[in-house]
A and B are shown apart, each in its own frame.
Chain A
Amino acid sequence: MMQNIWLYLYFPNLQLDALLQQNPDSNIHTQAYVILDEQTNQICQLNHTAHQAGIRLNMGLGTAAMFKADLQVIAYQQKITKNRLNDIAQSLYLVTSDICFFNDNGLLLRVHNMLNLYGNLISYWQVVQQQLLQQQVHFHYATGHSPLAARLLAITAWDQITDNIQTVKQAIQQTSLQHTDLTTKAVEKLQRVGVHTIQALLNIPIAEIAKRFDIEVATYIGRLTAQITHPVNFFHPKKSFERFIELLYDIENIQILQGPLKQLLQSLEQFLKVRDLLTQTLVFTFSQRDEKSIELNICSQQGEYLAKYWAALISLKLENITLSAPVFGIRLIVENTYIRTPDKGDLFAGKQGALSRLQLISLLQAKLGANAVSTPVLTDDYRPERIIQKTQLQPKPIQHSTLYALRPSFLLNPPQRLQEKVSIAYGPERIETGWWDAQPITRDYFIARNQLGQWYWVFKTPTGDWYLHGVFS
């Protein structure tokens, strides 16, 4: 039987890494930065500079401030960490099938069933490592014969990949109880009786432990040594794309906003490209300080995935927007995606334009608004006004079969009283319709020419009033 191997990836600095990635020009490299968990008032993430200064995990803020006076403190936001972890899982899903979330900073991968594909552990690890390096995060890793063994070793930064259970067991035995998932209370209890390492704990028979300590400790030992199977829920990636980035500093200028937007679009492009998907709508939410957030819908008539294309549409859209307050965060949600179908362009059609028709329409709509671009359509009503009401942008308007009378090129909306002297050239043509609804008309239409030589479409009502309704341009 194949032995079980689990790989645990531990990400100690997810929020800091996310910040650094979004603001590559910032001083996160050089300045000491820590993330503070406000609930426990303890430091939960820190960068290298802070570590060098002597600051450690779970330290109080006061102590940390004593080590480094110019310490930068950022509040812990579980959402950012979770999102980042989710992104990492998404990208790992491309190379490995079984992924499980552990707390908010760890991923557990089931390795043994992937070995059929990759041959051996080393080549599997190379592929996984490649994916992780793309994500630009700090991580520690370890393999183990049980999920908890791998986790324990990864947290202690063991950073080794092996399928030799003996090596793993030896490594586990050295680790101190502080790193385990046991509660502090249980650890204290064990320390009081002289149990400091896993080795000492393993020497006690499991029945004894169950009798003398909590059942929790016994379960932990059982799972650690793979005597009890650890229940795991595997991750299934979502079809939609959602990402929130928090800006390191507030942005008031729309020009500067383009930078973070570009990053969002780049990751969207990657997401869509890998899955061979296209989308037609992006929904951006700009969170503004002390103001309502702005929601921005960007539509493309033609499905797109390229960041470059979306960036062009967004910059047109942003021209019409004024920020009333600084922006501190941007969220991008893309819900509807569909599989890309290859363009069926004609190779021999000659001139190939830079844009397709739908791209041109999207471009114009982004700048001028959706209502500014339309396609004329016909109605099945004899009232000329009805055409005005029904014009919309439709992919395939219905063509009428019967069209006979001469109609003007332009219509006045609404018709205006005829103010000048005209001479009738053609007519009348009576239109009497609409008796079934509230707007019946009875009109005699004439083609007339005025003194300047302009051709008018005029009508006379039964009461004898003359109106100008159209111009034959």
Chain B
Amino acid sequence: MHPTISYLKNKNLLWQANHTQSTESGQHSGFTELDNALQGGFPEYGVIDIRSLLGIGELRLLLPSILTRQQQKKTELVTLIAPPMFINSEMLAEFGFALDQVMVVQPSLNKQVLWSAEQSLKSGCCHSVILWHASLSVTQVKRLQLAAEKGHCLLFIIRQPQQEHISLPVTLGIRLSPSKVGIKAQITKRKGNWSNNSFDVYMGAYWPELSQLDTNVLAFPSRASRAG
């Protein structure tokens, strides 16, 4: 190999297509459509940036995979940092969470939010952290990413859709929008892969009440006709 090339490679300045790590992770999200789009599911650890309106199912999209993680790692915590409203314990218990493995952190100052997230990530005793935070800089995300790798933890950052349009160095970026069947998702960023189609995630299997029936009624005959 040419010395310049090997020098650049050592400096990590050169990217080669075969560098991409295999992102085949077995962490199923619990939703077939999302698993297909992510080719397996959520990464084992890292930072996931979620842009979504409040109350369209953004948290419910994460719950099945977090529940799986909780069942796999019984001694570790799931930490919810700075939720915009009061977290309803009944909902968590109803979905099957062991409540003593859930920790809610509500810092009074904005700057303490990221600090709490970093501490929880790198502590190694949390398997997932969900963070509600408005603005993030590239450096902050990098720090969180390192902390998440150190603690083998998965961080979900839930933000409003309209804020900031700079590209952040996250493992996975998802934009969510409301949909009648469940939620509409679009993968905006993904390490080592590229897909930009938006797709509907059907949530009726978990929450039939929150997945509107009229769409279902319409969808059913059309699927049947295609099969026939």
Q: Hey, which bits of chain A sit against chain B, CB under 8 A?
A: 349, 351-357, 359-361, 363-364, 367-369, 372-378, 384, 387-388, 391, 394-397, 399-400, 403-404, 406-413, 425-426, 447, 449, 452-456, 470-473
- Residue ID in chain A nearest B103 by CB atoms: A375
7 tightest A-B CB contacts, nearest first: A353-B124, A453-B178, A376-B89, A454-B55, A410-B85, A473-B59, A471-B55
B83 touches A355 (CB 8 A): no
B210 touches A367 (CB 8 A): no
CB contacts under 8 Å to A, within B189-217, are 207, 209-210, 212
On chain A, the residues within 8 Å of B85 by CB distance are 410-413, 471
| Complex CA–CA separation, A349 to B152 (angstroms) | 14
A363 touches B119 (CB 8 A): yes
B37 interface residue (CB < 8 Å to A): no
B88 touches A408 (CB 8 A): yes
CB contacts under 8 Å to A, within B61-114, are 75-77, 83-94, 98-100, 102-108, 112
A360 touches B90 (CB 8 A): no
B122 touches A410 (CB 8 A): no
| Complex CA–CA separation, A172 to B100 (angstroms) | 72
A454 touches B54 (CB 8 A): yes
- Residue ID in chain A nearest B96 by CB atoms: A403
A378 touches B86 (CB 8 A): no
| Complex CA–CA separation, A373 to B207 (angstroms) | 30
B209 touches A425 (CB 8 A): yes
B99 touches A472 (CB 8 A): no
On chain A, the residues within 8 Å of B88 by CB distance are 376, 384, 387, 407-411, 470
- Distance to closest chain A CB from B123 (angstroms): 4
17 CB contacts below 8 A, A to B, read A349-B75, A354-B122, A357-B75, A357-B125, A360-B120, A367-B115, A374-B106, A375-B99, A376-B104, A378-B89, A384-B88, A391-B89, A391-B104, A399-B93, A407-B94, A454-B56, A473-B54
Q: Provide the main secondary structure of the chain B interface.
A: mixed
One of B90, B112, B152 near A368 (C-beta < 8 A): B112
> C-beta contact mask, B162-190 vs A, less than 8 Å → 1, else 0?
00000000000000011110000000000
Once A406-B207, A407-B94 are accepted as A-B contacts, the answer to whether A376 and B152 lie under 8 Å apart by CB is: no
| Complex CA–CA separation, A473 to B124 (angstroms) | 27
B151 interface residue (CB < 8 Å to A): yes
A372 touches B125 (CB 8 A): no
One of A354, A375, A472 near B210 (C-beta < 8 A): A472
B58 interface residue (CB < 8 Å to A): yes
- Distance to closest chain A CB from B27 (angstroms): 15
B210 touches A473 (CB 8 A): no
B89 touches A353 (CB 8 A): no
On chain B, the residues within 8 Å of A453 by CB distance are 53, 56, 177-180
| Complex CA–CA separation, A387 to B88 (angstroms) | 7
| Complex CA–CA separation, A408 to B55 (angstroms) | 9
B133 interface residue (CB < 8 Å to A): no
B178 touches A377 (CB 8 A): no
A406 touches B210 (CB 8 A): yes
- Distance to closest chain B CB from A188 (angstroms): 72
A377 touches B99 (CB 8 A): yes
| Complex CA–CA separation, A454 to B58 (angstroms) | 10
| Complex CA–CA separation, A353 to B150 (angstroms) | 9
> C-beta contact mask, B111-138 vs A, less than 8 Å → 1, else 0?
0100110011011111000000000000
On chain B, the residues within 8 Å of A470 by CB distance are 88
One of B115, B126, B180 near A360 (C-beta < 8 A): B126
On chain B, the residues within 8 Å of A361 by CB distance are 103
> C-beta contact mask, B140-159 vs A, less than 8 Å → 1, else 0?
00000000001110000000
On chain B, the residues within 8 Å of A354 by CB distance are 122-124, 150-151
| Complex CA–CA separation, A404 to B122 (angstroms) | 36
- Residue ID in chain B nearest A404 by CB atoms: B94
Contacts beyond the supplied A399-B93, A409-B91, A452-B53: 16 A-B pairs with Cβ under 8 Å: A354-B124, A360-B77, A360-B123, A364-B119, A368-B105, A373-B105, A375-B99, A376-B92, A391-B89, A394-B100, A403-B94, A409-B60, A412-B86, A425-B212, A456-B55, A472-B55
B40 interface residue (CB < 8 Å to A): no
One of A387, A396, A412, A454 near B89 (C-beta < 8 A): A387
On chain B, the residues within 8 Å of A367 by CB distance are 112, 115-116
On chain B, the residues within 8 Å of A351 by CB distance are 124, 152
Looking at B55, B77, B122, the one whose CB has the most chain A CB atoms below 10 A away is: B55
- Distance to closest chain B CB from A364 (angstroms): 6
B87 touches A407 (CB 8 A): no
On chain A, the residues within 8 Å of B115 by CB distance are 367
One of A396, A399, A407 near B91 (C-beta < 8 A): A407
- Distance to closest chain A CB from B171 (angstroms): 18
| Complex CA–CA separation, A401 to B104 (angstroms) | 22
On chain B, the residues within 8 Å of A388 by CB distance are 86
- Distance to closest chain A CB from B44 (angstroms): 11
On chain A, the residues within 8 Å of B77 by CB distance are 357, 360
| Complex CA–CA separation, A471 to B207 (angstroms) | 14
- Distance to closest chain A CB from B208 (angstroms): 9
- Distance to closest chain A CB from B209 (angstroms): 4
A376 touches B107 (CB 8 A): no
On chain B, the residues within 8 Å of A471 by CB distance are 54-55, 85
Looking at A354, A355, A363, A473, the one whose CB has the most chain B CB atoms below 10 A away is: A473
On chain B, the residues within 8 Å of A391 by CB distance are 89, 104
On chain A, the residues within 8 Å of B106 by CB distance are 372-374
A399 touches B99 (CB 8 A): yes
- Distance to closest chain B CB from A401 (angstroms): 10
B57 touches A472 (CB 8 A): yes
| Complex CA–CA separation, A181 to B178 (angstroms) | 93
A411 touches B86 (CB 8 A): yes
A373 touches B89 (CB 8 A): no
A373 touches B103 (CB 8 A): yes
| Complex CA–CA separation, A470 to B210 (angstroms) | 14
- Residue ID in chain B nearest A349 by CB atoms: B75
- Distance to closest chain B CB from A122 (angstroms): 52
B91 touches A355 (CB 8 A): no
- Residue ID in chain B nearest A360 by CB atoms: B123
A364 touches B104 (CB 8 A): no
Once A363-B119, A411-B86 are accepted as A-B contacts, the answer to whether A473 and B102 lie under 8 Å apart by CB is: no
| Complex CA–CA separation, A352 to B150 (angstroms) | 11
